[in-house]
Amino acid sequence: MKFKPAFRFCFIPLFAMVATAGISQTAAAPNKDETSTGPEDPAQGTVASAAMPAQGVVSYSSVTQLNDLLSRIENTSKSAQSDLTQLRVEHWKTDGATKRQSLADVDSIQRNLQNALPEMIGNLHNLPEDLPATFKLYRNMDALYDVMGGLVESAGAFGPKDDFQALSNDLSGFENSRKQLAERLEVLAGAKEQEIVRLRAELKKAEAAVPSAVPPKKVVVDDTEPEKNPAAKKPVAKKKTTPKKPPATDPNQTPPAQPKPQ
C-alpha cells in the first residue's frame, strides 16, 4: 500500500513563490534528486540528500522551537518502531488479504522511520529555517499519518486492544507534530515574504540612485554612390599641337640673292 498524502494545509503557492525568488538564501549546492518534487514513499526507504545552502543568523527561539519539535518526532518514532515490532498481525481475526496488506503497511512504516525520517531530521538540524527541508519533513509526516491511520483502524477492528491503544498513541503523537510543522511553515513563509518585499524595495532605491548613462553620439556615414546624370556630357579633351620643324638647309648651298630695293 503506497502513501496517499492528504495536504490539509495550503502552503504550496506561497512556498513556490519564495523558492522561486531565491533572495533569502545564497546559492545552494546541487541536489542529487532536485527534479523530484513528490512526497517520499516510505516503501522506498531512501531519501535524496537535501542541499546545504548557507543561511543567515537564526534566532535562538526559532532553533529552540525546532529542536523541541524534532525531539518529539524522534521519541514518537522510537515508540512506534517498538510497538510495530510487537504486533502479531498473523493472529488477527481477519482474512488473509487483510493480514498481508497490514504486514506490508508495517514494513513500509518501519523502513520510513528507520531511513527516510532520520535523514530529514538531520537536514533540518543543519538548516533550521530552510523552507524546502521543512516542507519535505511535513509532507513525509503527512504520508506517515495516512498509512498509519489505516493500520490503527485495522488493529482496532481485528487485533488485541493493547495493540490498538499503543498504535493510537503513536498516531496521536505524529498528528500533533504534523500540526506544529504546519504552523512553523506558515511562520517561515510569512517571514520570507517580508524579507523579499524589503529586498525589492532596497533594490529599487539602489537603482534610482544610479545616474542614467548619457547615450553615445551617433555618427552617420553616407556611403551611397551619387546618382549619375545620363544627360551630363564629359568634357572634351583638347588636342595638343606640335610646332612644325623648318626644312633642313645645305651648308654648301649659297643662299638666294635678295632683291635690291629700287
Polymer length of the chain = 262
User: CB of 122 within 8 A of CB of 47?
Assistant: no
For residue 231, how many C-alpha atoms fall within 13 Å in the half-sphere facing its CB? 0
pLDDT at residue number 58: 78
pLDDT at residue number 134: 95
Helix ranges restricted to H, the chain: 12-21, 60-85, 96-111, 117-126, 131-158, 161-209
Distances (CA, A) of 89 to 129, 153, 158, 182: 40, 13, 9, 33
Cα–Cα distance measured from residue 211 to residue 11, given in angstroms and rounded to the nearest whole number: 41
Q: pTM to 2 decimals?
A: 0.59
Reported as a single tens digit per residue, the pLDDT across 192-226 is: 899 899 999 999 999 888 876 556 677 666 666 65
Reported as a single tens digit per residue, the pLDDT across 168-177 is: 999 999 999 9
Reported as a single tens digit per residue, the pLDDT across 3-55 is: 444 444 444 444 444 444 343 343 333 343 433 333 444 434 333 333 334 45
Cα–Cα distance measured from residue 42 to residue 116, given in angstroms and rounded to the nearest whole number: 7
For residue 190, how many C-alpha atoms fall within 13 Å in the half-sphere facing its CB? 6
CATH code matching the domain that covers 60-201, chosen among 1.10.3430, 1.10.238, 1.20.120, 1.10.287? 1.20.120
- Cβ-count burial of 107 within 10 angstroms (0-12 exposed, 13-18 middle, 19+ buried)? middle
Domain spans of the chain, in order of start: 60-201
Average pLDDT over residues 236-253: 62
Cα–Cα distance measured from residue 109 to residue 222, given in angstroms and rounded to the nearest whole number: 80
Angle at CA of residue 152, ends 148 and 155, nearest 5°: 135
- Please report, as a single letter, which amino acid is at residue 93: K
User: Helix, strand, or coil here: 107?
Assistant: helix
Average pLDDT over residues 58-76: 93
pLDDT at residue number 130: 93
Reported as a single tens digit per residue, the pLDDT across 113-167 is: 999 999 999 999 999 999 999 999 999 999 999 999 999 999 999 999 999 999 9
pLDDT at residue number 199: 93
pLDDT at residue number 57: 73
pLDDT at 1 over 70: no
**Would you list the DSSP string of 129-184?**
T-HHHHHHHHHHHHHHHHHHHHHHHHHHHHS-HHHHHHHHHHHHHHHHHHHHHHHH
pLDDT at 247 over 70: no
C-alpha cell at 207: 537603482
User: CB of 124 within 8 A of CB of 66?
Assistant: yes
C-alpha cell at 4: 496517499
C-alpha cell at 182: 504546519
